[in-house]
Amino acid sequence: MLLTGVQAQYADHIIPGAAQTSRYLPLLKNKRVALLVNQTAMIDRTHLVDSLLKLNVRIQKIFSPEHGFRGNADAGEKVGNSTDPKTGLPIISLYGKHRKATAADLQDVDILIFDIQDVGTRFYTYISSLQELMESAAASNKTLLILDRPNPNGDYVDGPVLDTAYRSFVGMQPIPIVHGMTVAEYARMLNGERWLSKGVQCNIKYIPCENYSHKVYYRLPVKPSPNLPNMAAIHLYPSLCFFEGTAVSLGRGTDKPFQVFGAPGFPKNGYSFTPRSTAGAKDPVLKDQLCYGFDLSNTPEAAPGKDRQIVLRWLIEAYHLYPEKDKFFNPFFNKLAGNATLMQQIKTGVSESDIRKSWEPGLAKFKVIRAKYLLY
């Protein structure tokens, strides 16, 4: 399924790590293998698991992240263990209460593989799953092979750096919302800054992408999760995910998730939509309620381009338009923001430019750290 969206200039001929099988098959020879993967772990049109089985790689089991192995579960939905009907392999969910692979899970494994398409934001939970897999691998003295993939939001760095008092699964490290790194680069940072639990080190190996740099734009061939169906949603996601911490709908349960926002109490002369129960959004915010708001799917910010940044004016405007100000934010907002400051800035009317200025010292420090671990 090719992801389409707004027209933009995307780089061709980028080769993800998974497609370079000749570079990593020697590492898997005569090894018992487990993979943390989802529906994005593709080599052209074939799933990595199927490709490796055809190459006689001995796969013991599959670990699955948020949204499950096939990528069709709701955000936050509990996904249990199961068996893959196509291969008969056991699938162990690493989301929910059992987030970390245990020593028992890894007892019959020699090497782990991580291959998941990330979208480059702190609150997209696949980098949290990566960290916890690294910690599990280190505890059991296993090697972790990372098959790197481009970051579709990897051309810029922006947002507040997380205050570690607000650590959660949607923000585990002191990084900005848009970190500008691939998963292999991020894994190098986790090791290098000794950010893993108790400062442990994971033995990582990685296969970098070919023909990729942070200055090019990458069109994802498969949607990374149910509610990021196209490139417009992926590019708007860093700005619109803030609405997950509010009473406003961001389009879950419509055909434009993460491309619209609105609420029943907004002015009725704008764009309108009604969230419904859908696959990947079974119980969306404001379900079955007519919402009025804004369609951003064709705005300049929905396409890649120079000088990209997180857009705050939509969140600020939504707060101003919302009739019951004391009910606009919910407790999840501070976890997404990574601090308690942003909510207070919006409540007290701080301008977008002044909010952005407050991020600059943290961003400057982070960029110095980030530079040590870049591969592209």
- The CA distance from 321 to 26, in Å, is 59
Question: Which amino acid is located at 347 in the chain?
Answer: K
- The CA distance from 336 to 76, in Å, is 14
Q: Are 257 and 228 in contact (CB under 8 A)?
A: yes
Q: What is the pLDDT of residue 17?
A: 98
What are the backbone dihedrals phi and psi of residue 132, each rounded to the nearest 5 degrees, phi first?
-70, -30
Q: What is the pLDDT of residue 131?
A: 98
Q: Which of 77, 353, 120, 335 is nearest to 236 (CA)?
A: 120
> What are the angstrom distances between the C-alpha of 211 and each of 14, 222, 376?
5, 19, 9
pLDDT one-digit tens code per residue, 289-305: 999 999 999 999 999 98
CA angle 203, 209, 214 (to 5 degrees): 105
- The CA distance from 239 to 310, in Å, is 5
What are the backbone dihedrals phi and psi of residue 287, each rounded to the nearest 5 degrees, phi first?
-55, 130
Q: What is the pLDDT of residue 98?
A: 84
In sequence order, the β-bridge partners of residue 204 are: 144
Q: What is the pLDDT of residue 241?
A: 97
> What are the angstrom distances between the C-alpha of 261 and each of 16, 123, 171, 328?
33, 19, 23, 13
Q: What is the pLDDT of residue 1?
A: 44
pLDDT one-digit tens code per residue, 326-339: 999 999 999 999 99
Q: How many CB atoms are located within 10 Å of the residue 302 CB?
A: 20
Angle at which helices 183-192 and 352-371 pack, to 10 degrees?
70
Radius of gyration, CA atoms only, the chain: 20
CA angle 214, 217, 219 (to 5 degrees): 130
- The CA distance from 197 to 189, in Å, is 14
Q: What is the pLDDT of residue 74?
A: 56
Enumerate long-range contacts of 82-87, CB under 8 Å, 24 or more apart: 84/49, 86/50, 87/49, 87/50, 87/53, 87/59
Write out the residue limits of the CATH 3.40.50.12170 domain(s) in the chain. 17-207
* Positions of the chain with pLDDT lower than 50, given as ranges: 1-2, 4-7
User: What token pair was written down for 115?
Assistant: 């291959």
- The CA distance from 121 to 154, in Å, is 9
367 sits in which H/E element: helix 352-371
Q: DSSP string covering 199-215, please?
A: G---EEEEEPPBS--TT
**Domain 17-207 class?**
alpha beta
Q: What is the pLDDT of residue 15?
A: 97
126 sits in which H/E element: helix 126-139
> What are the angstrom distances between the C-alpha of 36 and each of 19, 86, 193, 195, 205?
16, 17, 23, 21, 15
Q: Are 179 and 368 in contact (CB under 8 A)?
A: no
User: What token pair was written down for 309?
Assistant: 């940044």
Instruction: Indicate the pTM of the whole model.
Output: 0.94
